[in-house]
Amino acid sequence: MRVLIPGLNRHNVAGELLAGVTLVAIAIPLNIGYAQIAGLPASAGLYALVVPALVWALLASSRQLVVSSDAASASLVASSLGGLAVAGSQSYAVMALAQAVICGVVFLLMAVFRLGFLATFLSKPILVGFVGGLSLDILVSQVAKALGVHVDSGAEFTAKVVALATGLADANPWSMLIAGSAAAILLIGQRLFRAVPWALVVMVAATSAVALTHADAAGVQVLGAVPAGPPDLTWPVLDAAQWLVLVPSALALAMVASAEGLLVSRSYGEKHQYATRPNRDLFAFGVASIAAGASGSFALGASTSRTAAMDRAGSRTQLPSLVLAGGTLLLLLFGTDLLAEIPAPAIGAIVGVAILPLLGFRELRRLWRLSRFEFWIAVVCFVVTLTVGSIAGIVVAFVLALINLARRAATPTIDVLADDGNPAHALVEGTTAGQTTAAGTIIIRMAAPLFFANGAVFTQAVKSAITDAGGPDDVLRLVVDMEAVTDVDVTGADEFDGLRTWLAAARIELEFSRVRSNARARLARFGVVRAGDTVFSTNRAAASASLASSEGN
């Protein structure tokens, strides 16, 4: 039987409650900013912290992943809905609710059909590029907000940059002062005293300063009235065509959230040695997203930064998310008047500093050092997302993922195995080109399934190994090590059949070793391993048989 909050006990409940208070202090300022990025009122960001957070905490297998509105989801909402309705309008808000509901349905379908593996197609370089592109676009908007410069949130990145540059001359000096001070406090404070909820400190200090100096009268924009009361249960009402037009963006949102969420969930589970269930987490994502759409919020994402903050605070359960839901509800019931005077420059600074790590420059440097190909994948994804749009960025991300997968699959490791003459040693190391494994025998191993992308590569590698070793005059037997050949398709089988014909014409005997029992039926059905073929249990046995045969001759 599953306990309500896995990992919670009387020894850690006090620490988990304290971590929850910290999460409240971090999440409320950020979600207000993310709602504005999405083109929605501040209340939409706060509503995401109530019912959706509660649902996620009770259903998820991950004990630490924090799920809420985040920078990527907010930017995707804005970019996908900006061309369909005017930000801030009623129709825009209804579309945001419908988009969240569709995301939830996508998550649920992924969970039911166990499609969590699809999220793995968005590899780390792709996520770095995609999220980095979104984050830079957000950063420009937040800098403009912090300086009091008007920038159309639905405009393209280049248009935003131009608007920011041309509007600098008219920037509000008081807004600049508030934003600069807020950013300095956040950056310095987080470096020196990471446990302090600096976003809350900045929000309270900036709000107090505006209230005392009446800076809003000097042109500093403030948040304004936030409706009091709990989120209302609602349902988006749109015609069929409007629902359908939201499907592509909802798919993009679901894929990004699931890819990042499952990756972060698994990494923390491995770090702290508890089990996670990807399909259960997808189910939790689905129910939480539908709850968001039904309670006045918008699409959810996986908050990497808040999850990391909870990990640093020592949290190992979902209790902080429950505390967050309760704390936000209390704020909505009794404290919304305190939010009205929050200055927009402070919100811009809070969100801007929060997304700086998401730009991915540190990860890009690491990719450049480790893998230039993956570095350029990240860069292409970054540029496309930034200049063309988020949906195009997702499409390019999947194409790049498939290209990367095909490139790796088409170039598997293929070795001619070496025999050091010691019967106690296994044949696992590869020999140099032009050598045989034993007298008249080549044992060759391909470290991959046999399918359309590498079938021709494997057959050519076999022919080259035989030719380099002296051709049919010196090579009498070919033994194929099948340990890593766990699967085969029609194209791969046809290529292997052509190899079998070539070997027969050259009078080279074909044999096998280490055929997996769970793959043998499929290999037999496709004609790769046939009824009369010799199959050795080990490569050593195949080499010994070759030695015995040569001595007998």
Band of residue 119 on the pLDDT scale cut at 50, 70, 90: low
Place of tokens 């403030």: 222
Band of residue 154 on the pLDDT scale cut at 50, 70, 90: low
Q: How far is CA 334 from CA 251, 329, 331, 541, in A?
A: 37, 9, 5, 79
Phi and psi torsions of 252, nearest 5°: -60, -45
In the numeric block, which tokens belong to residue 234?
Answer: 């609602």
Place of tokens 């920038």: 151
Strand pairing category for 477-481 and 66-68:
unpaired
Q: Cα 157 to chain center, whole Å? A: 23
pLDDT of 452 > 50? The answer is yes
pLDDT of 332 > 80? The answer is yes
pLDDT of 430 > 80? The answer is no
Task: Give me the chain's average pLDDT, please.
Answer: 87
Which residues in 501-522 are b (16+ Cβ under 10 Å) and which e? eebeebebbbbbbbbeeebeeb
In the numeric block, which tokens belong to residue 368?
Answer: 């450049």
In the numeric block, which tokens belong to residue 345?
Answer: 């420059």
Most confident by average pLDDT, 68-82, 143-157, 519-533:
519-533
Q: Which of 92-96, 153-157, 422-426 has the lowest mean pLDDT?
A: 422-426
Q: How far is CA 182 from CA 38, 200, 419, in A?
A: 22, 11, 68
- Tens of pLDDT, residue by residue over 7-60, are 899 899 999 999 999 899 889 988 998 998 898 999 999 999 999 999 999 999
Residue type at 235 in one-letter notation: W
Residue 82 CA to residue 75 CA, distance in Å, equals 10
Give the DSSP per-residue string, 271-305. HHT----HHHHHHHHHHHHHHHHHTT----EEEHH
Band of residue 551 on the pLDDT scale cut at 50, 70, 90: low
Residue 34 CA to residue 348 CA, distance in Å, equals 10
pLDDT at 1: 41
Residue 77 CA to residue 97 CA, distance in Å, equals 10
Stretch 428-439: mean pLDDT: 69
Band of residue 167 on the pLDDT scale cut at 50, 70, 90: confident
Residue 343 CA to residue 339 CA, distance in Å, equals 9
pLDDT at 267: 84
pLDDT at 244: 95
Reported residue count of the chain is: 553
SS3 508: coil
Residue 293 CA to residue 276 CA, distance in Å, equals 26
Stretch 79-93: mean pLDDT: 87
- Tens of pLDDT, residue by residue over 344-395, are 888 888 888 888 888 888 899 999 998 888 898 889 889 988 888 777 777 7
In the numeric block, which tokens belong to residue 490?
Answer: 């029609």
- Tens of pLDDT, residue by residue over 477-530, are 999 999 999 999 999 999 999 999 999 999 999 999 999 999 999 999 999 999
pLDDT of 539 > 50? The answer is yes
Which residues in 37-64 are b (16+ Cβ under 10 Å) and which e? bbbbbbbbbbbbbbbbbbbbbbbbbbbb
pLDDT of 317 > 80? The answer is yes
Residue 70 CA to residue 256 CA, distance in Å, equals 11
DSSP 337: G
How would you classify residue 148: left for phi > 0, otherwise alpha for psi between -120 and 50, otherwise beta? left
Band of residue 421 on the pLDDT scale cut at 50, 70, 90: low
Place of tokens 């040695």: 273
Residue type at 71 in one-letter notation: A
Residue 339 CA to residue 323 CA, distance in Å, equals 20
pLDDT of 120 > 60? The answer is yes
pLDDT at 549: 60
DSSP 447: S
Band of residue 411 on the pLDDT scale cut at 50, 70, 90: confident
Q: Which residues pair with 445 in a beta bridge?
A: 415, 481
pLDDT at 295: 96
Residue 463 CA to residue 450 CA, distance in Å, equals 16
In the numeric block, which tokens belong to residue 68?
Answer: 């809420």
Band of residue 423 on the pLDDT scale cut at 50, 70, 90: low
Place of tokens 């609710």: 97
Torsion over CA: 458, 461, 466, 467 (sign): positive
pLDDT at 153: 65
- Tens of pLDDT, residue by residue over 226-238, are 999 999 999 999 9
Name the helix (H) or strand (E) containing 509. Answer: strand 509-513
Q: How many of the other CB atoms lie within 10 Å of CB of 357?
A: 14
- Greater confidence (67 vs 402) lies with 67
Q: Which residues contact 529 (CB under 8 A, 6 or more apart)?
A: 482, 512, 515, 520, 523, 535
Question: For the chain, how many helices (H) and strands (E)?
Answer: 22, 7
Residue 65 CA to residue 55 CA, distance in Å, equals 13
Strand pairing category for 441-446 and 414-416:
antiparallel
Most confident by average pLDDT, 26-30, 73-77, 218-222, 243-247:
243-247
- Greater confidence (323 vs 427) lies with 323
SS3 533: coil
pLDDT at 163: 87
Q: Which residues contact 48 (CB under 8 A, 6 or more apart)?
A: 31, 35, 68, 69, 292, 297, 298, 300
Stretch 102-115: mean pLDDT: 93
Q: Are 203 and 350 in contact (CB under 8 A)?
A: yes
